Structure 1
Amino acid sequence: MHLFLKNILFEDKYLIIFNKPYGIAVHGGSGINYGVIEIFRKIRQELAFLELVHRIDKETSGILILAKKRSILKKMHENLRNKLIHKEYLALLHGHWSEKNTTVSLPLLKKKNDHHKKKVCVHKNGKPSITRFKIFQYFHNTTLMSIIPITGRTHQIRVHAAQFGHPVVFDQKYGDIKKEKKILHKKNGRLLLHAYKVFFYHPLNNEKIFITAKLDERFKKLLKIFSKKNIFNNF
């Protein structure tokens, strides 16, 4: 509970902006009893209304927005549809991303595999999906990227990156699991994708809201390892 309160980045009478830790689902379901929303409802029982404005993957860390009033939730959803809420992610991708690929526009379709688990793929019958990529820094065999999803499809960043042969490091759904298996054990790996910036105008008073979410120690430690040497040489 203390971690949740500590990770609140912004709060007023209408919104909570939270730096979600890696490995915590945003809501319960599919064998998970509690997610972020259930925990917040428990520690903030005085609130008559509390809902997620949007979602991020369990494996992804970073900015998550919650609304304290239904009218605010409705307005924030409207702003999301009109692309008035700007989110930026930080990710470490395999390989060296080409400077030519600044925008990826590929339709995405949700599918379920034989085990009834959700997976997203590029498909002509999918929903239009656009992601912008900007190179921060090249490492030995990885690239640190700033990524802006123009649309907000499920697993959009992860699938678009993987489609170009540069999956997010330690992505067990869309990456090279066999290649990373030993490193996951040795280096205590986690998906290196973090929602680190958000910018929008407050739905009530039109005040500019710009929030940055710091990387956790685990993410920073892994970045340091990748920046110093080629840890995949032996695999």
Structure 2
Amino acid sequence: MSNESDQNIIPSHKFQCESLAQVQYIRISRDDEGQRLDNFLIRHLKKVPKSRIYNLLRRSEVRINKSRKKAEYKLQTNDILRLPPVRVESKPKSCTDEAANEAFAARLKEWVIYEDNKLLVINKPPSLAVHGGSGIHLGLIELIRRHFQHAKNWELVHRLDRETSGLIMIAKRRSELRRLHQAFRDNTVHKEYWAILVGDLKQDKHRVTAPLKKNQLAGGARIVRVDPTGQDAETLFEVQGRTPGYTWVLAKPVTGRTHQIRVHSQSLGSPILGDDKYTDQSDNAKAKKAGYSGLMLHARRLTIPMDDKPNLILTAAPPTNMAKWLENKHNVDPQTF
């Protein structure tokens, strides 16, 4: 690699982005193997805007083993990553307000469903994005990293839409992240959701296999449609209860496409109540007037394979909007949540 000696190459597990005033070379360690190049850069270059990172990749200023690589390139052990000089923010964004830290820690403690030295599982409230992005400065993972110094390398294992509530996994170690990603590929992680659908599903069970394709509207909003040229997708629906004009279902996504449950339920003619993208706004307005606002989709149960242990099975109570619906419409005792 170039003219650099090994002593100037930093192992990726020791790399800290304190300054990018000069070219740096990083040797990819085993713990970072399999990670996308863009995700690795975003994780380590926290002071660099994402737009700048993707600009560096498009202009081929970031090299792997002296070669150009795309953002989706999967890092390999002993790859040599070359980082060019990059201007970074002079002041790191960190929270030093002790009262704010304590307040967030108290809220997070209420959300925790399971925790060990490798994994954290929380019951995410609705309206909280899992990560920052378009128009969102801080999401769940950024808030955790910002308030807890020991959590700076924690990573989301999977994602939930901003308005979807329920169980989400956060890996505390890179090895655990890799293990769980492999479990998803092996289809040994199982997710189950509760949803309130608009309309009356006649059958008790439905299997939807409509392929899904992402589209972008003129205003830049992301939307997903059923499309024969899209990605394969499969969702199982099981009716849990019925009330006039609505159906309470258990949804089991076999695949993990963007907005999968939301679009598959729409394809049945029964979109999810409160969905501002896929449900008629008059239906949402009617529910809101009756005191039920927000997306009625909740990640209720997770089955997680564990090393040398029985599967970990976790459940999370629904948020206020859905709990109120189930109690009033289906006579479900809140104590059973």
Q: Which runs of 5+ in 2 are unaligned?
A: 1-103, 332-337
1:156 Cα deviation (Å)?
A: 0.2
Q: CA deviation at 1:147?
A: 0.6
The residue aligned with 2:218 is: 114
2:204·2:238 contact (CA, 8 Å) conserved in 1? Answer: no
Q: Which residue of 1 aligns with 2:63?
A: none
Moved over 4 A (4+): 225-228
Contact 1:108/1:128 (8 A) holds in 2: yes
1:140–1:227: 8 Å Cα contact kept in structure 2?
no
1:184-195, aligned counterparts within 5 Å?
A: 184-185=288-289, 187-195=291-299
**What is the alpha-carbon distance in structure 2 between the residues aligned to residue 154 and residue 219 of structure 1?**
22
Cα RMSD after superposing both structures: 1.6
Q: Deviations over 1:33-86 (max 9, x none)?
A: 111101111233113520000001001000000001111101111111111100
Gaps of 5+ in 1: 229-235
Structure (1/2) with the larger helix percentage: 2
> Which residue of 1 is the match for residue 265 of structure 2?
161
Q: 1:188 to 1:96 in 2, by over 3 A?
A: closer
Residue type at the aligned position of 1:102:
H
After TM superposition, give the deviation of residue 164 of structure 1 in Å: 1.2
Which structure exhibits the higher relative contact order, with contacts defined as CA atoms closer than 8 Å and separated by 6 or more residues?
1
2:149 is aligned with 1:39 = no
Report the number of matched residues: 227
2:114 to 4, 7, 10: 10
Counterpart mapping for 1:1-235 below 5 A? 1=104, 2-99=106-203, 101-185=205-289, 187-202=291-306, 204-227=307-330
Q: In structure 2, how many angstroms separate the alpha carbons of the residues matched to 1:44 and 1:211?
A: 25
Rounded Cα–Cα distance in structure 2 between residues aligned with 1:179 and 1:48 = 42
Question: Is the contact made by 2:183 and 2:305 (CA closer than 8 Å) also made in structure 1?
Answer: no
1:80 aligned counterpart, secondary structure: helix
CA contact (8 A) 1:142 1:226 kept: no
CA distance in 1 between counterparts of 2:221 and 2:166 reads 24
Question: What's the TM-score once normalised by structure 2's chain length?
Answer: 0.64
* C-alpha displacement of 1:222: 3.0
Letter in 2 for 1:164: L
Please give the secondary structure, in 1, of the residue aligned with 2:149. Answer: coil
Letter in 2 for 1:12: D
Identity of aligned residues (%): 35
Q: Output the amino acid matched with 2:113.
A: L
TM-score when scaled to structure 1?
0.91
Shift of the 144–100 alpha-carbon distance from structure 1 to 2, 3 Å rule, reads: closer
- From the CA coordinates, give the structure whose radius of gyration is larger: 2
Distance in 2, matches of 1:47 and 1:140, equals 47
More moved, 92-101 vs 129-138: 92-101
Contact 2:113 2:123 (C-alpha < 8 Å) held by counterparts: yes
Give me the whole-angstrom Cα distance separating, in 2, the residues matched to 1:92 and 1:159: 14
Report the secondary structure of 1:187's partner residue. coil
